[in-house]
């Protein structure tokens, strides 16, 4: 055991001030991580791999409001979990920092989009992976543009989209940057080839004909739910992940948890029946993490006011952290399995 390093967080608490109750942190942050200001130099100095940024913006929605509360609920749900994963023997302690929420103006969506863009670029500039939690799906438009500009014209990016809706409206009531326009705008990025785009989970009738037409026109490969069920969830997902990672320098993974069946994620703005089950999504999260590299993770459209017993928020946390855990294992970051809680105790049974 390296005496210079703290291992206490791997274990159930030893007791004493500040270590009694893992659900009562001093400050509410993603996975009880440190707060670091949204500043490239500070982020770089943190030594973390991921930076969490909340994006409480829901003025891009055309349906139900409520995703503004998403980041808060996501952080709350993350308090239920430890950084240690017995399934992978890895420890996510110190792997992430929390930059707080990007300040969102009211009734100024253009200003909001600019701030989302700047937040994501700042994290990327520091060399960290942004984990951004919305907010509605329109946040992905600004965030993907940030990744696209960050890597520059000479590099290629891939984009993986989970959701029940294709979000391929070229415009909606004349507006071009709303949530249902997300994939339409994203597939216009100069360094994103349609061959590196995949959409998973489309189903049901909130997918008007112009969206399907645009997908065909742009050559966007989407895997509807029926295809997943007929060909097998893992086979299709692996194929989609291959497209996104094949020959790309950066990868953007975007979740709307309405890809899940409504029973597995009631707390999203637009639930849909007939979706994925949580055990399937857990395998998918692992497949993504096993790629070892990714550039941005976003989660949008969480809607705590509709949630039941924290179902959707807990699922979202488990998916994001499972990607992180699988990725850490794939990178050979398994911890020394021989460390024991008793090693932390000195002879008198008190914390050493």
Cβ 221 to another protein shortest distance, Å: 28
Interface with another protein, residue 73, by CB under 8 A: no
Minimum gap (Å) between residue 134 Cβ and another protein: 20
- Tally helices (H) and strands (E) across the chain: 10, 11
The alpha carbon of 14 is separated from its chain's Cα centroid by a whole number of angstroms, namely 32
Supply 183's token pair.
């994939």
> 251 to 270, contacts with another protein by CB under 8 A?
261, 263-264
Beta-bridge mates of residue 133: 54, 299
Q: Give the C-alpha separation, 136 to 130, whole Å.
A: 17
Q: By CB under 8 A, what part of segment 2-61 binds another protein?
A: 10-16, 19-23
* Gap between the Cα atoms of 316 and 331, Å rounded: 23
- Residue with Cβ nearer another protein (176 or 350): 350
Q: State which of positions 287-316 bind another protein (CB under 8 A).
A: 308-311, 314-315
What token pair was written down for 351? 């914390």
Q: Which of residues 80-99 bind another protein (CB under 8 A)?
A: 80-87
Helix (H) or strand (E) holding 250: strand 250-256
As a whole number of angstroms, the longest Cα–Cα distance in the chain is 72
* Nearer residue to another protein within complex by CB, 79 or 171: 79
Work out which of 76, 212, 282, 287 binds another protein, going by CB under 8 A: 282
Parallel, antiparallel or unpaired: strands 192-202 and 157-162: parallel
Nearer to another protein, 58 or 280 (CB): 280
CB of 48 to another protein, least distance (A): 18
Q: Which is nearer to another protein, 42 or 282 (CB)?
A: 282
Helix H or strand E encompassing 45: helix 40-46
Using CB under 8 A, list all residues that contact another protein.
Answer: 10-16, 19-23, 80-87, 261, 263-264, 277-279, 281-282, 308-311, 314-315, 318, 321-322, 325, 337, 339-342
């Amino acid at each position: 055991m390296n005496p210079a390093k703290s291992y206490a967080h791997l274990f159930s608490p030893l007791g004493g001030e500040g270590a009694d109750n893992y659900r009562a942190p001093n400050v509410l942050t993603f996975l009880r991580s440190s707060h670091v200001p949204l500043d490239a130099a500070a982020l770089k100095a943190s030594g973390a791999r991921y930076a969490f940024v909340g994006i409480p913006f829901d003025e891009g929605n055309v349906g139900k409001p409520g995703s503004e509360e998403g980041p808060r609920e996501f952080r709350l749900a993350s308090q239920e979990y430890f950084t240690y994963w017995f399934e992978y023997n890895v420890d996510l302690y110190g792997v992430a920092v929390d930059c707080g929420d990007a300040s969102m103006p009211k009734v100024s969506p253009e200003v909001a989009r600019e701030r989302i863009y700047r937040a994501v670029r700042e994290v990327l500039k520091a060399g960290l992976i942004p984990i951004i939690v919305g907010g509605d799906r329109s946040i992905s438009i600004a965030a993907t543009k940030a990744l696209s500009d960050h890597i520059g014209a000479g590099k290629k990016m891939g984009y993986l989209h989970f959701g029940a809706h294709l979000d391929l409206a070229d415009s909606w009531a004349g507006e071009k940057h709303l949530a249902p326009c997300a994939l339409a705008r994203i597939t216009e990025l100069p360094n994103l080839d349609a061959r590196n785009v995949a959409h998973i989970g489309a189903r049901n009738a909130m997918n008007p004909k112009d969206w399907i037409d645009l997908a065909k026109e742009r050559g966007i490969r989407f895997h509807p739910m029926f295809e997943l069920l007929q060909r097998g969830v893992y086979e299709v997902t692996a194929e989609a992940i291959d497209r996104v990672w094949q020959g790309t320098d950066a990868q953007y993974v975007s979740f709307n948890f309405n890809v899940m069946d409504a029973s597995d994620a009631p707390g999203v703005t637009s639930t849909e029946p007939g979706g994925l089950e949580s055990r399937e999504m857990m395998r998918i999260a692992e497949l993504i993490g096993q790629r070892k590299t990714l550039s941005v993770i976003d989660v949008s459209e969480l809607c705590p006011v509709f949630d039941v017993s924290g179902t959707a928020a807990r699922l979202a946390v488990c998916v994001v952290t499972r990607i992180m855990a699988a990725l850490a294992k794939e990178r050979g970051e398994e911890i020394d399995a021989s460390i024991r809680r008793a090693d932390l105790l000195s002879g008198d049974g008190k914390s050493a």
